[in-house]
Amino acid sequence: MSVALRKFAYQHPIFGRSKKERTHEKYRNSVFYYWYEFLKRNEDYVNCCRANGAGSLSGLYADFGDVFGVDFKTWWQKDDRGATLFAEKSLPKFGVLTVDQIQSKSDILFIQVPLSLPKKYLASEFQKVLNKYHHGSRGKRTNAISTALYPVVGHVDIESIDKCLRVYDLRVSNPNLPLWSIAELSGIVKKAACVSKSDTKSEMSSKKLVSSNAASRLLRRAKRLIENVGQGEFPGRN
């Protein structure tokens, strides 16, 4: 089944066909692209791939496979992997069933509705049943519970996640570079906040401190994201 026919809780990757579309790399706006990228930076998963699936994350490897040696598009499309991992499963439709259509499922509740009773009373009783058995908070509208094999967990902020990735990669490739320089090179601070030769010593010190703190926060989050993907969730609850 093609990706276009599958439902995703978040925007699935879009791979352009023209040279112009490929240049813009729209798939980078998808949370699933970053799931793949952060998985490549999990040391336990790196070792698992090197061992052809053996190791502490062998179960995760069985689903995600080797994320090295192939680009994201190839990894996503092979054997319909992206849709298999992240697309929502088709839900039963709301409606009246005959006795022979009833199938026992953990996420479906069967109730008996005596149609001879008043509508207002039935609506009230139905609401009581929902309050008791539905996973959502009482009196609060909630999104549908994800049925994906690997549901996205936690708040998704693509811009912030991208910053985490950039800062982490720069830190890894330049371990001796000061954090304020990492912040400037990764582009997470505005040009006006970057250190300038015309700055006074006090201004330089202040700018370096602010940039260092920003880079440090993103590095800490990047490490949590890397840890979370190793547990099969992204971006995670923390």
Of 29, 54, 86, which residue constitutes the final position of a domain? 86
Most confident among 7-11, 102-106, 107-111, 155-159 (mean pLDDT): 155-159
Task: Give residue 26's pLDDT.
Answer: 78
Who has greater pLDDT, 122 or 166? 166
d(CA 71, CA 87): 20
**Assigned domain for 7 exists:** yes
Among 45, 66, 86, give the residue marking a domain's end: 86
Helix/strand/coil for 75: helix
19-23, 53-57, 125-129, 203-207: least confident range: 19-23
Number of domains in the chain: 2
Residue 119 covered by a domain: no
Q: Write out pLDDT tens, residues 66-119.
A: 999 899 999 999 999 999 999 988 766 666 666 666 665 656 677 777 777 788
Tell me whether residue 109 is in a domain.
Answer: no
Lowest mean pLDDT among 13-22, 76-85, 90-99, 138-147: 138-147
Amino acid, res. 33: Y
Taking alpha carbons only, the member of 40, 31, 27 closest to residue 172 is 40
C-beta separation of 130 from 187 below 8 A = no
d(CA 141, CA 111): 22
The angle subtended at Cα 4 by Cα 6 and Cα 156, nearest 5°, is 65
Residue 61 pLDDT exceeds 90: yes
pLDDT at 143: 47
In a domain, residue 111? The reply is no
Residue 97 domain-assigned? no
**Is the residue at 195 inside a domain?**
yes
Q: Give domain status of residue 65, yes or no.
A: yes
Q: Is residue 201 assigned to a domain? A: yes
Q: Which pLDDT value is given to residue 223?
A: 97
Mean pLDDT of the chain: 85
Domain containing 173 equals 158-230
Give pLDDT, residue 138.
43
Q: What is the pLDDT of residue 142?
A: 43
Quick check: 20 pLDDT over 80?
A: no
Answer whether residue 63 shows pLDDT above 60. yes
The tokens of 10 are what?
């978040």
**Dist. CA 211–CA 186, nearest whole Å:** 11
User: Which of 86, 109, 125 corresponds to the end of one domain?
Assistant: 86
Name the pLDDT band for 33 (thresholds 50, 70, 90): very high
* 153 φ, ψ (degrees, to nearest 5): -120, 135
Least reliable range by pLDDT among 51-65, 144-158, 183-197, 217-231: 144-158
Given this model, what pLDDT does residue 87 score?
Answer: 92
